[in-house]
Amino acid sequence: MAQKIALVGIGKIARDQHLPAIFANPDWSLEAVVSRNAGVEGFDHYNTLDDLLKDRADIDTISLAIPPQPRFAYTATALKAGKNVMLEKPPGQSLAECFALEDMAKQNGVSIFATWHSRYADCVPDLKAWLSERTLRQLRITWKEDVRRWHPGQEWIWEPGGMGVFDPGINALSILTEILPFPVHLSQASLLFPENRATPIAANLSFDNPVSADMTAEFDWRQEGPQSWDIDIETDQGSARLSLGGEKLEIDGKVVKQGTNNEYANLYARMAELVRGGQSDMDLSPMIHVCDAFSLGRRLETAPFEF
Ligand code: NAP
């Protein structure tokens, strides 16, 4: 039988991905939405999460598609009410918030899922399997996109907790932490802040790793023209390029797989599995690298940014 779910925050990602993924999955039945501004035709609408919780005790799972800053309070309220919670990435605005939520889910006997949608891109498992049989020599992440095109008018990404260019950059880090056969840690970073903004517009990162591979990431939000969401890898036995954020895989210069966008379908399938099994999935490793970048990174200033 389908599990009852409510979606909180009817913004860009809710409309682009969450609603279609829920509608396409027979394991889920959308029962209601919570939004301060918008409804979804044909579904119950509540202005606040508290109103929903009071009225709809039958809904067991809450999916949060809101920015990271308000997420802790919403998640804590839902978990304390005994609901399973699915979190958009990043799972919080600080690590301590995420640890606290993980504990709360345990105490209340419910599931929590810190989703990393890019990990669920079609070619990520293939690259992971390929890499597991090779020795890494070099890895370069190039995540360069136009913030005006992908985040028009979104002020929250420029506020503390919004993470700036790490909002997309953490997607690359979620792939990195999934495909590598060993843990790595940040060794150096530089973060470029527009002089009128609280979060960075670009960042360069280097990673220490057990095989002494040359491992770097370049994130930039000022990219006009072609956009890049690529990971280039050199090993002792050939090279690989993951592009389009994980949808396309080339090995030694030949396309071996061109997938489609199934990320959110895969996320909702995973959440259904977690709820059925009474389990949680709260891997915070991508978030650790971002927090380390803010801790270790050299802060540089650049020209003011306006949309
Ligand atoms: P968005 O459109 O700016 O905001 C989503 C919704 O969150 C808003 O429409 C609003 O919903 C609610 N919201 C905003 N500020 C709030 C606040 N202070 N308190 C309570 N609710 C608030 O953002 P988005 O692009 O959908 O991103 C939401 C999350 O999804 C982010 O963590 C982002 O990293 C992640 N994400 C985004 C994308 C993307 O392509 N945009 C892709 C993957 C993941 P109501 O008006 O309905 O209340």
Predicted confidence band of residue 1 (pLDDT cuts 50, 70, 90): confident
**89, 106, 128, 257: the active-site residue:** 89
- d(CA 133, CA 131) in angstroms, rounded, equals 5
pLDDT number for residue 184? 98
* Residue 268 identity: Y
The helix/strand/coil state of 84 is strand
- d(CA 128, CA 116) in angstroms, rounded, equals 16
CA of 68 to the centre of ligand 1 (A): 8
Q: Which residues line ligand 1 (CB under 6 A)?
A: 9-14, 35-38, 65-70, 88-89, 117, 154, 156, 167
- Indicate where the chain has its CATH 3.40.50.720 domain(s): 3-114
This model's pTM is above 0.95: yes
User: Is 118-259+291-302 a CATH 2.30.110.10 domain?
Assistant: no
Ligand 1 atom at shortest distance from the alpha carbon of 34: 47
pLDDT number for residue 275? 98
* pLDDT beyond 90 at 88: yes
The helix/strand/coil state of 32 is strand
pLDDT number for residue 38? 86
Q: Are 112 and 84 in contact (CB under 8 A)?
A: yes
At 117, give phi and psi (nearest 5°): -60, -35
- Indicate where the chain has its CATH 3.30.360.10 domain(s): 118-259+291-302
Predicted confidence band of residue 180 (pLDDT cuts 50, 70, 90): very high
What angle in degrees, to the nearest 10, is found between the helix axes of 71-80 and 95-108?
10
In CATH terms, 3-114 corresponds, of 3.40.50.300, 3.30.930.10, 3.40.50.720, 1.10.357.10, to 3.40.50.720
The residue among 218, 138, 124, 132 whose CA lies nearest residue 176 is: 124
The residue ranges of DSSP E strands in the chain, in sequence order, are 3-8, 28-34, 44-46, 61-64, 84-87, 112-114, 136-144, 185-194, 202-208, 214-220, 228-235, 238-243, 248-251, 254-258, 298-302
